[in-house]
Structure 1
Amino acid sequence: MDNRKERKCFVELPWKLYRDDPNWVPPLLLDMYNTLNPKKNALLRLGPNRFFIAYQDGEPVGRLGVGMDLRLNAAKQEALSYLTLFESINDYKVAQALFDAGMAFLREQGAAVVTGPQSPSNGDDYRGLLLAGYDSPPSLLNSYNPPYYHTFFQQYGFRKDFDRYAYFYDFRDGPPKRLARGVELIQKRYGYRIRPIDMKNLDKEIHVLKYVTDQAMPDWPDMIPPGIDELEAEAEKLKLLAIPDLVLIAETSAGEPVGFAVTFPDYNEVLPKLNGRLFPTGFLKFLWYRRKIKGARLFALMVTPARQKKGVAACLYYYSMINALRLGFTHGEGSTIHEFNTRMNLDAYKAGGKLYKIYRVYRKEL
């Protein structure tokens, strides 16, 4: 992908592939262009990367992004690489050609292993291939793909690395009574304070989130705490998308941050009406229809290790639900959680979550 025309083909290919699929949600074109721009996407500045387009009879029919996060590799002392943004028509030869090109590039860079699909921005977006839960559209920034993608990956030699789970919550009857009783006892015992993020002092609050994240991030092969530049990029999203009462920070009675939860309205309920474009009329549609959103997505919930068995997560779940219900939301999704994150999966279940979507991340030795 070497020029503006090819970049346009790369970004707009999903409109061709999913035009007859009622569950596909078109992303904002501006967001996708920013994802491909190293000035806007910190991940692309962390190591070599390349984006490929497959053509058939002069028409784009597939795409793939690959790269390496050298900061991650230095921390893990491994030669890891990732693939992202894979799309293809239902023709294995197209997928094979893309994989061949991507794997060759990664080998040239010294990669020993590739995993994916991973987030194209090192965030919590577009991770994994949808494996179960095709009966409804994805929530904000989650993956959607035809089932045959799994066949393509497996035929090429990819094997399961791990699954990620999405849980559904019905807010209409309020949080589970058992959760409410538990939170009351927890707060009496530990004196936790759950407060909304202060959007007027966001620069300061980002450092609070980083303080928690640096301690709470699990020591898993594909994860390290984000850098401050990545968190600052996320802060820009908060300014645009967040409702303060849905971005909650947990503190001790002494004021020490011990956890946080980030929930956004599910803007995927609005995006089909925009069809990828904010201008000239899309922004007005966005402002109008966002008031009618009924779903929410809990993107992140982190708790410092010393407090992970002391009720912080329960408090964050409880107040996230209470606030969402008060704001008019009727349901939500908590996602995505690694299958081997036993503590977080248990917390999600205790908070009333029902497993309803599964996303698979694949792995291949190079």
Structure 2
Amino acid sequence: MIHVEIIQPTKKGLKPFIQLPFDIYKHDKNWAPPNRKDLIRTLTGKDNEFFSRGIQRYFLAHDDEMPVARVLAGIDLRMSTRVGETVGYICLFESFENFEYAQAVLDAAMRFLREHGVKKVYGPVAPRYDLLNRGVLVDGFDGPPVLQNAYNTPALPQILEKYGFEKWRDYLAYDIPVDTIPIDRILSMANRIRNRFGFRVEHVNFNRSNLIRVAQDIAAVIGEATPDEPGSYMPTPEDLLQLFKRIKPWLRNQSAVMAYAGNKPIGVVIGFLDSSPSVIGTDGRNTPWNWLRRVIKTPQTKTARCPAQYVIPEYQNKAVNTVLLAEAVRGAKSLGITRIEGSLVDETHIQSVNNTQSAGGKLYRRYRVYQLSI
């Protein structure tokens, strides 16, 4: 018999909620498990502004005693205040391939959201403000995700659509072979471009003493370059500090650059090393064996992910992005990187799409955020 329980956001209470995808994907060689400790900290609200400024409920469906589907449903008070309507969301949706399991847990989540005045729901979104995860994979199931991107089977979006969710927006992932980017030609013109438009380029310094300034500058650029709208989330400096903390093993100064006009940050391009090779096949725990695997695998990775490529409107169409990208790629090559995934590129941001394609990017994956009127 299928029944749904509300999970308490404690370390003990969340254990079966977190374990479920480990059971669903235990035979899937492409699944890259999350770090359990980091996820517990996120879901218990530690260092997570997304939760501290919202209301959440955790729902877990059982078939008799066996957990079979889960979802987190919530209200984003920060976004609701900005857009003037109560915005609901779902995240961490997982289910075995049985529509009745998914329907049970989604029905419970929608009842909760309706009771709190929500009329439209977006998702799946990440359970925190970050740059790495949005939507569910709907195209490109032939390999593992790159640096904490979403991963799921084709059944998951099919279940959401059968339930009544409709496409809101797609976020695109591009495969960019490093050798296709004409770095030398761009950099030969870089000084002339910088002098003409009055900006300079600096590599990001991820040293601990400099992180607050880095987070403030990147948040300022993203906030100015991206419009506010339901379903989109602008990271604060604190959000970015927590992101850098979570992915510290894959941060490299060489592949992250910012542009400044005087003291004003005007653009950013960041590349992080891919974490998937070091976590696939692990149990998501902080054991000595998993630590050793990460130490060995991380320097061997040939893939980086570029999740942040922003220029403020005043400096768009002035080759700022081109110079930033060339500098970041030159740094990535020095680390042995041969391939970059550019993601997540909002399909409605035509300039970002064009910039990525002009850099040699080939669309190879698509992630979808859905919407549902309730």
Match of 1:36 in 2: 43
Counterpart for residue 280 of structure 1: 288
Shift of 1:181: 6.5
Counterpart of 1:365? 373
Partner of 1:312: 320
Partners of 1:273 and 1:285 within 8 A in 2: no
Instruction: Tell me if 1:263 matches 2:271.
Output: yes
Q: Output the amino acid matched with 1:42.
A: E
Superposed CA RMSD: 2.0
Q: Secondary structure at the match of 1:281?
A: helix
2:123–2:231 CA contact under 8 A, matched in 1: no
Whole-Å Cα distance in 2 between the matches of residues 280 and 170 of structure 1? 34
Decide which of 60, 73, 93 is 2:67's aligned counterpart: 60
Shift of 1:323: 1.0
Which residue of the partner structure matches residue 363 of structure 2? Answer: 355
Q: 2:193 aligns with which of 167, 186, 197?
A: 186
Judge which range, 191-200 or 131-140, deviates more: 191-200
Question: In structure 2, how many angstroms separate the alpha carbons of the residues matched to 1:349 and 1:180?
Answer: 19
Looking at structure 1, the residues matched to 361 and 181 of structure 2 have their Cα atoms a distance apart, in angstroms, of 12
Q: CA deviation at 1:347?
A: 0.7
Query: Matches of 2:247 and 2:33 in 1, distance apart?
Result: 21
Find the aligned partners of 1:321 and 1:242 in 2 and give their Cα distance. Answer: 14
Shift of 1:269: 1.4
Shift of 1:84: 0.3
| 1:165 matches 2:172 | yes
Return 195-204 or 355-364, whichever deviates more. 195-204
Is the contact made by 1:169 and 1:354 (CA closer than 8 Å) also made in structure 2? Answer: yes
CA contact (8 A) 1:172 1:325 kept: no
AA in 2 matched with 1:359 = Y
Q: Which residue pairs with 1:82 in the alignment?
A: 89
| Matched residue type, 2:286 | L
Deviations 1:54-97 (A, max 9, x none): 11121111110110111110100011111000110111000000
Counterpart position of 1:251? 260
**What is the CA–CA distance in structure 2 between the aligned matches of 1:51 and 1:78, rounded to whole Å?**
23
**Secondary structure of the corresponding residue to residue 274 of structure 1:** coil
211, 222, 236: which one aligns with 2:245: 236
- Identity between Structure 1 and Structure 2 (%): 33
For 2:194 and 2:253, locate their aligned partners in 1 and report how far apart those are by CA, in whole Å: 22
Query: SS state of the match for residue 89, structure 2?
Result: strand
AA aligned opposite 1:296: A
Q: Is the 8 A contact 2:119 2:373 kept in 1?
A: yes
Q: Do structure 1's residue 209 and structure 2's residue 191 form an aligned pair?
A: no
Q: Distance in 1 between matches of 2:32 and 2:60?
A: 21
Equivalent of 1:73 in 61, 76, 80: 80
When normalised by structure 1's length, the TM-score is 0.93
The equivalent position to 1:18 in structure 2, one of 25, 31, 34, is 25
Unaligned runs of 5+ in 1: none
Q: In the alignment, does 2:293 pair up with 1:293?
A: no
- The structure 1 residue matched to 2:129, chosen from 96, 99, 122, is 122
CA–CA separation in structure 2 for the residues paired with 1:71 and 1:236: 23
Q: Deviations over 1:281-310 (max 9, x none)?
A: 211221121111110000111111100111
Offset at residue 21 of structure 1 (A): 1.4
- Distance of 1:341 and 1:106 partners within structure 2: 30
The residue aligned with 1:99 is 106
Contact 2:203-2:257 at 8 Å conserved across structures: yes
Amino acid at match of 1:214: G
Query: What is the CA deviation profile of residues 202-253 of structure 1, one whole-angstrom value per residue up to 9, with x for unaligned ones?
Result: 222222223323322223333353334323323424644311122211123x
Retained in 2: the 8 A contact 1:174–1:322? no
Runs of 5+ unmatched residues, structure 2: 1-6
Moved more, 52-61 or 231-240: 231-240
Secondary structure of the structure 1 residue equivalent to 2:54: coil
How much has 1:28 moved relative to structure 2? 1.4
Is contact 1:251-1:258 (8 Å) kept? Answer: yes
Alpha-carbon deviation of 1:164? 0.7
Q: Tell me which stretches of 4 or more aligned residues in structure 1 moved more than 3 Å.
A: 3-6, 172-185, 237-241
1:195 aligns with 2:202: yes
- 1:149 maps to 2:156: yes
Alpha-carbon shift at residue 180 of structure 1 (Å): 5.5
1:325 equivalent in structure 2: 333
Q: CA deviation at 1:314?
A: 1.1
